[in-house]
Amino acid sequence: MKRILTGIKPTGEIHIGNYFGMIKEVVELQKNYQVFLMIADLHAQTVPYKPQELKFLTYELASSLLALGIDPKKTVLFRQSDIPAHLYLYWILSCLSYFGELQLMHEFKEQAERYKKQGVGVGIFMYPVLQAADVLIYNADLVPVGQDQVQHLELTRELARRFNKRFKKFFKVPEIYIHEETAKIMSLDDPSKKMSKSLPEGCLEIFAPENAIKEKIKKAVTDSGQEIKYDPQKKPGISNLMIIYKYLTNKTLAEIEEEFSGLGYNDFKGKIIEAFFDYFKVARVAKRKIKKEEVEKILRIGAQKANQVAKENLIKILKIVGLK
């Protein structure tokens, strides 16, 4: 069975970008692949955070993933920090990485700009190398991600090839798996930016209270004019809302234009609210029923399974690089 590794950071509440960009795919893929799904708590440390909050968000995220259809009998759900082999391989790969190539990463450039006053952490700079280690320590065949992660995954592929060439062929060069149309959902308050947990004002969080969701959709940025028409250049706000509605309802963009012809932005937003609650009704009910002890147990078992595979690979890697 082919193996998948993917991850999500516990830096905020899960939003529809995470869901349509990655989680929905993993829920499908877990039927036919061996999936390792990691809660990337080490990655969450690359930006300022509060320890208690990180712990809370880790459990929150795990229970959200379970409520959204991640099945712990099929998927190994685990916390990144429970698997020390990630950090060991991270160091080995760091020594194969070039300063210049890490400087080119879009996410680094964005974050460097954001934190330039406080000082830009080295963790932000090195983060793509840890991400490469996360994938390669499981020798994964496939990595499902949103469009925002492609550049990092290209680096992962390059580091796998570089390691194989420098030492001995060991790593598979993993395929990047992107669901093209849902690959990037933009922020509700600024459609020029991606919806991101680090900018919560623009996120549509799946498990937020009902009123908060209604408010967010009502306040979502629209464009001049009144027409509901898909035109990402001239109407980025409405086009993003159309993409969201498309995935909530399974309708095509042409059907959506037809449905709202002659109607205004408020009618459209009202329908998005309805569609949102229809789509996530089951998950929102399921989430309330999941207990913390249950989540703890799933993460504990996940860590045992992940550790077994990661340790086995690490021993082989240490021999190849001359450390054993």
18 is a site residue for ligand AMP (CB under 6 A): yes
129 is a site residue for ligand AMP (CB under 6 A): no
Question: 10 Å Cβ neighbour count for 78?
Answer: 26
- CB–CB of 137/313 below 8 Å? yes
149 is a site residue for ligand AMP (CB under 6 A): yes
Stretch that binds ligand AMP, among 72-80, 179-187, 284-292, 307-315 (CB under 6 A): 179-187
Q: Pick between residue 207 and residue 260 the one whose CB is nearest to ligand AMP.
A: 207
Question: 10 Å Cβ neighbour count for 285?
Answer: 10
The length of the chain, given as a count of residues: 324
Q: Which residue's structure tokens are 């916390």? A: 79
Tokens of 124: 């932000």
Cβ 193 to ligand AMP shortest distance, Å: 9
Cβ 11 to ligand AMP shortest distance, Å: 7
Cβ 8 to ligand AMP shortest distance, Å: 4
Identified binder of ligand AMP from the candidate list 64, 75, 97, 196, rule CB under 6 A: 196
- CB–CB of 30/74 below 8 Å? yes
CA distance 239 to 253: 9
Cα→Cα distances 174→55, 169, 307, Å: 30, 14, 20
For ligand AMP, which residue has the nearest CB?
21
68 is a site residue for ligand AMP (CB under 6 A): no
Stretch that binds ligand AMP, among 84-92, 97-105, 177-185, 243-251 (CB under 6 A): 177-185
Stretch that binds ligand AMP, among 15-23, 216-224, 226-234, 242-250 (CB under 6 A): 15-23
Q: Pick between residue 127 and residue 163 the one whose CB is nearest to ligand AMP.
A: 127
CA distance 16 to 108: 23
184 is a site residue for ligand AMP (CB under 6 A): yes
Q: In 105-166, at which residue ranges do the beta strands (DSSP E only) sit? A: 142-144
CA distance 270 to 290: 30
- Residues lying near ligand AMP in the complex (CB under 6 A): 8-9, 17-18, 21-22, 145-146, 148-149, 183-185, 194-197
